[in-house]
């Protein structure tokens, strides 16, 4: 990943925050025979396991990813945070100099690590339970695994396989206008707020040098 110093984010806790806020990751793998592949999966992060944390997920048993790759295969998981188009017209200085062009702002994390397949019902039951509790928490009547009949749930669990990625390296990039002069960055933040892009505007406000 191209990573200019002023956009680099190296704080593990900040990268973990972004991964947990945007858990739908892209698992990038490479097989000697078939080449590159990508699978899009919701992940759970166990931040306390390993130097950089451990990712857990599940995939369909019918997905040959789990049987095609050797144990310990090197993989990368991409997590993308808020992102959006930035118009040069939002910069006050553009109207004075006309020396700005459009750009795209975003936050992204690349989690490099080693893949481990966990074909174990207790493991996948735990993953599904944690994902469910987390993402159902805001519902008026949260769905629970116990809402399904034991026979049906058992059948469903047999159709999935667990995965773990032991993270060995984290790369983070926050391209949020930190290289702009304060009034131009403020203009872009205000314009995004007016257009309802609250997540990106908030990320830019947190990243501004004078924050």
pLDDT in tens, 41-70: 999 999 999 999 999 999 999 999 999 999
Q: Which residues of the chain have pLDDT under 70?
A: 211
> In the prediction, which pLDDT does 23 show?
97
> In the prediction, which pLDDT does 208 show?
82
Residues making up the chain, counted from first to last: 211
Q: Cα(186)–Cα(198) distance, rounded to whole angstroms?
A: 14
> In the prediction, which pLDDT does 211 show?
60
> In the prediction, which pLDDT does 154 show?
93
User: Six-digit token pair at 173?
Assistant: 């990039």
Are 63 and 106 contacting, i.e. CB atoms less than 8 angstroms apart? no
Residues 6 or more apart whose CB falls under 8 angstroms from that of 48 comprise none
Q: pTM of whole model > 0.75?
A: yes
> In the prediction, which pLDDT does 10 show?
96
> In the prediction, which pLDDT does 160 show?
97
Count other Cβ atoms within 10 Å, centred on residue 105: 23
Residues 6 or more apart whose CB falls under 8 angstroms from that of 97 comprise none
Q: Cα(48)–Cα(20) distance, rounded to whole angstroms?
A: 13
User: Six-digit token pair at 33?
Assistant: 């025979």
Q: Cα(121)–Cα(173) distance, rounded to whole angstroms?
A: 36
Angle at 41 between CA 40 and CA 45, to 5 degrees: 135
Assign domain 5-84+102-179 to its CATH architecture: Roll (2.30)
pLDDT in tens, 153-163: 999 999 999 99
Count other Cβ atoms within 10 Å, centred on residue 99: 9
User: Six-digit token pair at 98?
Assistant: 């006309």
Domain boundaries, the chain: 5-84+102-179
Q: Cα(163)–Cα(67) distance, rounded to whole angstroms?
A: 11
> In the prediction, which pLDDT does 15 show?
98
| pLDDT mean across residues, the chain | 94
Q: Cα(124)–Cα(108) distance, rounded to whole angstroms?
A: 27
> In the prediction, which pLDDT does 32 show?
87
Beta strands in the chain (DSSP E): 24-31, 35-42, 44-46, 54-60, 74-86, 103-118, 160-175
The SS3 of residue 53 is coil
């Amino acid at each position: 990943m191209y990573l200019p110093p002023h956009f680099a984010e190296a704080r593990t806790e900040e990268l973990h925050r972004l991964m947990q806020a945007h858990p739908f990751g892209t698992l990038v793998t490479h097989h000697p025979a078939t080449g590159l592949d990508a699978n899009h999966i919701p992940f759970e992060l166990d931040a306390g396991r390993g130097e950089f944390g451990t990712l857990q997920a599940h995939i369909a048993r019918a997905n040959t990813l789990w049987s095609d790759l050797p144990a310990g295969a090197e993989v990368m998981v991409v997590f993308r945070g808020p992102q959006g188009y930035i118009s040069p017209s939002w910069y006050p200085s553009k109207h004075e100099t006309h020396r700005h062009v459009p750009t795209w702002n975003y936050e992204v994390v690349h989690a490099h690590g080693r893949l481990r397949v966990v074909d174990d019902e207790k493991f996948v039951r735990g993953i599904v339970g944690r994902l469910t509790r987390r993402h159902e928490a805001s519902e008026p009547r949260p769905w629970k695994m116990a809402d399904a009949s034991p026979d049906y749930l058992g059948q469903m669990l047999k159709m999935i396989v667990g995965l773990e990625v032991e993270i060995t390296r984290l790369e983070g990039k926050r391209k949020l206008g930190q290289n702009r002069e304060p009034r131009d960055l403020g203009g872009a933040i205000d314009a995004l707020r007016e257009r309802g892009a609250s997540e990106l505007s908030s990320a830019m406000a947190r990243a501004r040098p004078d924050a």
